[in-house]
Chain A
Amino acid sequence: MKLLVGYTADERGAEAIELASAVVAGTKDAFVQIAIVLPATAPFTAIYPGGDHGYETILSAQVDRWAAEALALVPEGIGASVVARSVSSIAEGLIELGEEFEAHGIVLGGRKRHLGGFFMPGAIANALLHSSPLPVFMTSPASLENLREAGGQITRLTAFVGDRPGAEEIISLAARVANARNIKLRVANFVAHADVSEGSAGIDDHVRGIREYLDELVKELGIEASVEVIASGSIDTAINELSWQPGDLALLGSARLAAHRRLFIGPKAHRILGHLNVPMGVIPHLPSTR
């Protein structure tokens, strides 16, 4: 497995490499492709008075040093290389590089930011979440702490699914990943009371219906997975009721709104992203993945 890390020479970058290494560890041809993207030089931004003032030379030397530091962060046994490229937009550049290097996903380090009570992914993560044809993995210091507790090993996959046909894709993909790495799989679904129109009796029926549907799916796919359907007052409280263990990795599917083979993160997934304290991956809506 090969993952492309959008690297910045700070803690976020180091965290992204840590997550990427954990995800690829133990897979066939485990490889971390580190990408340092630079803004394209814009000729119409004239510097007054003229001239580059030697900046390109110094910047490229600095990038070389960052590249060496980044490589040193990748554990033994995992292949790694660095590419540095000037791009017009960072998100688009990462997608291009991901495709060019035939990566199975893009990894970003990040910080949780709350703006007016809402979780906001960074601008770059947000752009990727709405346009990437490749899965996007994200981490934050808290979620990385969870991974470190498990000694940097991923111990379980949790696939978040809706009750919609898209669930099958995510479950089967997650099952293949879990199988390849010999780890457990959990399938989780959240029901917010407000989303169910038939009242409290209706909720029980609704939950039972979903559970049966997911059990059936798991059975049809011939895989082993635990199924958890959690009903609560809101998505937020439902998320908090789900228990986590060290080394968990969450997987979410892209919303149905997404264009074919592109990510698009829905409001519900957005909420989930904001509450998770484990590393997560968002999978585009694909008939099949690499």
Chain B
Amino acid sequence: MSQEMRRDSLPETNDSGLHEKGLSKGTVGVLGLIVIGISCIAPAYTLTAGLGATVAEVGTSLPAILIAGFIPMLLVALGYRELNNAMPDSGTSFTWATRAFGPMIGWMGGWGLIAATVIVLSNLAAVAVDFFYILIAQLTGQEWIADLTKNLWINIPTTLVFIAIAAYISYRGMNATKVFQYVLVGFQVGVLLLFAIMAFTADAPFDRTPITWDMFNPAGVESFTAFAAGISLSIFVFWGWDVTLTMNEETTDPNKVPGRGATWTVLIIIALYLAVATAVLYFAGVGTTGLGAGNPDNQESIFAVLAGPVMGPLAILMSLAIMSSSAASLQSTMVSPARTILAMGYYKALPSSFAKISPRYMSPSVATVVSAAAAAAFYVVTRLLSENALWDTITALGLMICFYYGLTALACVWYFRGELFANARNFFFKFLAPLVGGIILLVMFFVTAVDSMKPDYGSGSNIGGVGMVFILGVGVLLLGVLVMLYSRVRHPAFFKGETIKTGKNLIL
């Protein structure tokens, strides 16, 4: 066979190899999907990071707001699934929103996703570092070691090292195995349940607060702004759950497994969250002194304070669970902004150099470094500016998730606008669910954004009388607008619609 002939038949040879997607096809069952879903949510991390801040907003209505927060998440995720099925080749807020609404809004959708994941990266790293020192203190019995994390000269370099390691692992394309995930998730869930049991059976709770039905009533929240803030925080604790809905061909039965896996995952997660939330309320109450969950000193990282009093020597298990789950999430989250930055570089919405793929490890190279650098920079700035950096970051993160999720949900409605009323299924999954979910999230976004301008919002840090959360959240979005306008001048091709066509039935 001649060289030329072979060369002509090249695309076929390549396609056959690549698009079969390797060995992962049909390997994940319902249990596997639940494990993947829970590992993506990382409950030990989200609870320690998000519970305190949520209590600060809604007090004893914590269980209610957790349940309420799931509803917009579910509605939006249903829309996500439709987009994912319609455009499996693109699979990101950036491309979906671009195709539905055009380049400018699409660009901001991509920026929102990158910002949200970069913020969560810096928060994950910070939590991992806190519990790293707590764990060492517990292992050695030297309590002063746990306080090292409060020293910025130690905390910031350690956090940067954690981020760098995660970026390196991500760049090398190293993957977690099935066994690793099962162990990690099983351990996490087990420790959280143990915490709940020990809190409820404690001989001397700090501030015994009886569990009442009122706690489960969303109407019990004092004000709408508190409700909105609570929702955007509880969105954060469910963030990652949508992965169960978007897994299709990896599952053993694409018709049944994703639906069942997603349902079981959310039931388990809600049960776990309610158990831990009520346990915290029962044991510590919402008082603003001592161990109370309403004490601002406790709200950055609730388990860092409560695990010891509740679990005694077993608190070391909690430290291990939180450190392992946040460190594992740190690494797997690094992939997300890197891939979105890569996609934006590839479609010329950002400089093309961001689209570089490492020929050895087949992973984004420049984009991974950029993500890690952005997370590191964000962390350093927040840590230096805010007295309560973790808390403010989580609230800003809630804002960012509401923004890009809401935008993507509306993109779903707009993208499918021609077929929304074709049948009952379309009406519900492509219109009603994403529309309601998207509107709820964007309303939460605007209410929280306006509210967060107040200097006493969140942890109470402010610059020139403007709340830190507003500066972080809205500031990052405005920075996005500036970068977009700059890109538009420097790289007009994307903004002229030359790289991604708007509308349906057009191949990228």
A interface residues (Cβ-Cβ under 8 A, vs B): 8-10, 13, 38-64, 66-68, 71, 74, 76-88
Contacts and interface: CB of A to CB of B under 8 A. Distances in A.
B40 A49 contact: yes
B343 A58 contact: yes
Given A38-B18, A53-B343, A48 B357 contact: no
A38 B36 contact: no
A45 B175 contact: yes
Interface string B196-235: 0000000000000000000000000000000000000000
B355 interface: yes
9 contacts: A48-B239, A48-B333, A51-B336, A52-B339, A53-B92, A64-B11, A68-B10, A74-B3, A86-B23
Contacts of A48: 40, 42, 117, 120, 239-240, 243, 329, 332-333, 336
A77 B3 CA distance: 7
Contacts of B460: none
Given A10-B359, A41-B22, A74-B3, A67 B346 contact: no
A87 B28 CA distance: 18
A260 B443 CA distance: 70
B242 A50 contact: yes
B114 to A, nearest CB: 10
Contact of B90 (A8, A57, A60, A74): A57
B359 A42 contact: no
Interface in B278-331: 329
A265 B175 CA distance: 29
The 7 closest A-B CB pairs, nearest first, are A50-B243, A86-B22, A40-B22, A53-B339, A9-B359, A42-B175, A84-B17
A57 B15 CA distance: 11
B14 interface: yes
Given A44-B36, A49-B117, A39 B13 contact: no
Name which of B14, B90, B94 has the most chain A CB atoms within 10 A of its CB: B14
Interface residues of B, number: 72
Given A42-B175, A45-B332, A63 B14 contact: yes
Contacts of B342: 55, 58
Name which of B242, B247, B355, B362 has the most chain A CB atoms within 10 A of its CB: B362
A271 B92 CA distance: 50
A273 B378 CA distance: 48
A40 B21 CA distance: 7
B332 A46 contact: yes
B361 to A, nearest CB: 8
Given A56-B21, A56-B91, 5 more contacts: A44-B181, A48-B120, A58-B346, A85-B17, A86-B20
Contact of A55 (B6, B246, B332, B339): B339
Contact of B246 (A50, A54, A76, A80): A50
A155 to B, nearest CB: 25
A44 B32 CA distance: 8
A45 B360 CA distance: 19
Contact of B24 (A43, A46, A53, A59): A43
Interface in B1-50: 1-3, 6-7, 9-11, 13-15, 17-24, 27-28, 32, 35-37, 39-40, 42
B357 A59 contact: yes
Contact of A81 (B10, B40, B89, B94): B10
A105 B454 CA distance: 70
B123 interface: no
Contacts of B10: 64, 67-68, 71, 81-82
B335 interface: yes
Contacts of B244: 50
